[in-house]
Amino acid sequence: MRDIRLIVSDLDGTLLSPDHSLSEHVAGTIRQYVKEGGLFTVATGRPYRTAMPVIQELGIDIPVILSNGAVLAEGGRVLERYCLYVKDIADMLLDFHLMGLSVLLFREHEIQTFARTEEIEAYEHKERVSCSVISARSSRWTAGELEKVILIGNLLAFNTVWDRWESVHRHAVSPFQSEADYVELVSGQVSKGFMLQRLSSTLGIEAGRIMAIGNQMNDLSMLQLAGIGVSVANSPIELQMASDYVSQASYGEGVIEAINRFVHGGKGIWKYGDWPIEDIR
């Protein structure tokens, strides 16, 4: 049994319920863990403006990992930030737009999009934000930096465009699938695992004393870095197979299960495949 000092959890699909809310049962468990002396933070694809309500509700007062590892922030102040330069990827982003994907451009204080589609409206409703519409024909959007890009839609369309551009951008851009129909683009060196390593150094906590919990392939790097990498039951099989432990419960209840097992005296790590087949969900 490892002595866990820090727990890092993804938000959507992991800590949060299917409706993207934080249940009081989950929040209460996290608060009690911190009250007992543990450290807890989040590693999310969300930017600060949409992650802030959960951060505040949990009372997190240590750095948080945002935008899939592009940003490390504390109390609303950016500690580290790794960005994409729009001018370098503008032609590729236009290709994604022309292939019918909804494109979201995440600037430091604004989210831009080329068209108000059903996917964009669903995103705004889910995240409780408003996106600014900017013409794809304008050159104004090609200036400056982006924390990340979200592409929403058919993954085959994404793959078609990415296949054309991968040889050009493979070192400067990293794509991650964060939901069934979401692909996110961040700076090439960036991942949740990369920023978790930076956080580990900042806090002076070795990776072996960290438990990381997630539900999608964009969580893989931090699960691999942490001493214990947990995937909740609603994770894809590929992530479960790479995890140290697969919870029987989904979403936030899976986070509680992991805390109970590895912090409050569980029986140790069960690798994927050690479960009786009827326990796999």
**Residue 206: is its pLDDT beyond 60?**
yes
Mean pLDDT in residue range 179-206: 95
The pLDDT of residue 109 is 87
Tokens representing residue 266 in the block: 């569980």
**Residue 270: is its pLDDT beyond 60?**
no
**Residue 274: is its pLDDT beyond 60?**
no
Measured CA to CA in angstroms, residue 121 lies from 38, 106, 116, 125, 141 at distances of: 38, 16, 7, 6, 20
Give all domains of the chain, ordered by start, each with its CATH number.
6-81+190-279 (3.40.50.1000), 84-187 (3.30.1240.10)
Mean pLDDT in residue range 106-135: 94
Q: What is the pTM of this model?
A: 0.87
Token pair 């007992």 is found at 36
Q: How far apart are the C-alpha atoms of 184 and 102, rounded to whole Å?
A: 12
Tokens representing residue 246 in the block: 């697969």
Task: Report phi then psi at 32, rounded to 5.
Answer: -65, -40
**Mean residue pLDDT across the chain:** 92
Confidence category of residue 2, pLDDT binned at 50, 70, 90 = low
The tens digit of pLDDT for each residue in 217-256 reads: 999 999 999 999 999 999 999 999 999 999 999 999 999 9
Mean pLDDT in residue range 40-62: 96
Task: Report phi then psi at 181, rounded to 5.
Answer: -125, 20
* Number of Cβ within a 10 Å radius of residue 4: 21
The pLDDT of residue 177 is 86
**Residue 169: is its pLDDT beyond 50?**
yes
The pLDDT of residue 266 is 57
pLDDT greater at residue 74 or residue 267: 74
